[in-house]
Amino acid sequence: MEIPLSPISMIEIINKIEKEKGIRVIRFDIAEPMFTPPWDAIKGTVNALLKGYYRYSPSLGIIELRKAISNYLKETRNLDYSEDEILVTVGGKFAVFSFFLGLLKHGDYIVLLRPYWSSYKAIALMLGINTLEVWSKDPYHLDEESLKEIMSKRPKAIVINSPNNPTGGILDINDIKLLKDLVEDYNIYVLSDEIDWAYVYDDRKFISPASIENLKEKTIVIDGFSKVFCMSGWRVGFAAGPKELIDKMKIVQEHTVSSPTTFAQFGCLSAIEKYREYIPIIVRECDRKRKFIVEELNKINGIECPIPEGGFYVYPYIRLEKSTLELAHYLLLNGVAVIPGEFFGDNRNRLRLCYAISDEDISIGIERISKSIEKIKK
């Protein structure tokens, strides 16, 4: 089976189109908030280089950062992990890869909830791991019936991602209780991708399964610096879980990439120390942009945009003759980049738009979408 493309592949396509057509493409495709990272992160990175931190780091990551992450997980999600239960990785993506390669075997089954971030599926395919795909209930809840049905295949793990990319849906306490039942009854691992944990709106609460008794022992938490610190280029993420599982993931990292870049880890250390001041500001900004874009998109005839509970994406339904793949292509030629639902295993005619870009770009982008749709309808 062919490995699906990652939305990151859009970067090259967009650069080419901008050059060929001489236009500036509005980037709703990007999966990263376009805010400036904490200034301390930049200073911390440069200072680390000046101090001579340009050699290998321990493969678990530098101890100072692991201690800071331990504290951050406790304070933000009530999670108890010691520094030996934390693996600093080359982005959250490599934490996912290390989980799949370190804890699963070729031929194992894992459960993915549709719609899902495309890399779970791509990594599984690369490693010969089979996926069992069930729909989540809108916007992102576990469907007990379909999950229980596929348990007869004896999957080894389930991947959850709350707030969900692309829907923005958040698992609630009933979902977490159901997850606990599944773990107790079928002894599966949980990969809890919490990369967008802070983007939660309207008094909703983010619950990590690892904060629940009996779930923690089977759960690996994935997080990183790309989304809540806007430091995607540093390529630093982390995994937290029981030591014997983290040790298996560490071996994968040790023999592939060795460790994340040493001075980048020091930059992340400076960032995480500022999380209390930094994160609320960008989340407030995103909340404002979320309301604005939903209102504007819903004014376009042919688009129906639910308000997302979390994340920094909207995921509207498109009611047109064109498929979302065709529409995304058409919009790109008209100067707007979006990601079709097909990238997330979703064939229900939906598009993902990241709204963590400037207000001006949101407005220009919406206008271009509106005009393009008018042209299609004629």
Q: x/- binding map, residues 300-339, to ligand PLP, per CB under 6 A?
A: ----------------------------------------
**Touching ligand PLP, residues 92-131 (CB under 6 A):** 92-93, 117
* Shortest Cβ 223–ligand PLP spacing (Å): 8
HSE-CB for 248 with a 13 A CA cutoff: 14
Instruction: Name the one range near ligand PLP by CB under 6 A: 71-79, 87-95, 140-148, 355-363.
Output: 87-95
Contact 138, 114 (CB under 8 A): no
Instruction: Name the one range near ligand PLP by CB under 6 A: 36-44, 89-97, 184-192, 203-211.
Output: 89-97
Q: Are strands 339-340 and 351-354 parallel, antiparallel or unpaired?
A: antiparallel
Using the minimum distance from each CB to ligand PLP, give the nearer residue, 201 or 225: 225
Gyration radius (Cα) of the chain, Å: 20
Q: x/- binding map, residues 17-46, to ligand PLP, per CB under 6 A?
A: --------------x---------------
Q: What are 181-185's contacts with CB under 8 Å, separation 24+?
A: 182/147, 182/148, 182/151, 182/158, 183/214, 183/215, 183/218, 184/214, 185/151
Binder to ligand PLP among 29, 40, 193, 309 (CB under 6 A)? 193
Residue 73 CA, distance from chain mean position? 17
**Touching ligand PLP, residues 210-249 (CB under 6 A):** 224, 226, 232, 237
3-state secondary structure of 69: helix
* Shortest Cβ 93–ligand PLP spacing (Å): 3
Nearest CA to 87 out of 245, 235, 214 is that of 245
Q: How many residues bind ligand PLP (CB under 6 A)?
A: 13
- CA distance linking residue 58 with residue 80, whole number of Å: 22
Contact 280, 200 (CB under 8 A): no
- CA distance linking residue 111 with residue 1, whole number of Å: 18
Closest-by-Cβ residue to ligand PLP is 91
Q: x/- binding map, residues 149-188, to ligand PLP, per CB under 6 A?
A: ------------x---x-----------------------
Q: Can you give the binding site for ligand PLP, defined by CB under 6 A? A: 31, 91-93, 117, 161, 165, 193, 195, 224, 226, 232, 237
